[in-house]
Amino acid sequence: MANNMVTPIIKGPITDIFSAVGNFQNHQECWKRELELVDCLEAYGPLHGQTKCHDLMADLRECVIKGKQRQRFLIMRRERLRQIADGERDPENAFIESPPADSY
């Protein structure tokens, strides 16, 4: 599979330097989703791919932006703060310690 989704009109050193800016191949979690999306778009074309590959687009967007994960975190935090305010939880032990940064 070629890595030229959009071919530049004039090809030169500058276009070579910035050719990989618009992809997620170096992203630790999302590179497989991007490949699936590109395969789907390549199979159906740009017009039909917008509808046929919508789920793959949404999956890639969620993988990169993490909107649902962020919303889940905010809902849990809001509930925890409500429990502290209502006296259901002890404020000192309300939040557990964060895991180490490299424990993904």
pLDDT in tens, 50-95: 999 999 999 999 998 999 999 999 999 999 999 999 999 888 888 8
pLDDT in tens, 17-31: 776 666 777 778 888
First-to-last alpha carbon distance for the chain, in angstroms, is: 31
Could you tell me what percent of the chain has a pLDDT over 70? 87
In the DSSP assignment, the letter for residue 66 is -
What's the Cα-to-Cα distance from 63 to each of 12, 28, 34, 66, 69, rounded to whole Å?
Answer: 32, 10, 10, 6, 9
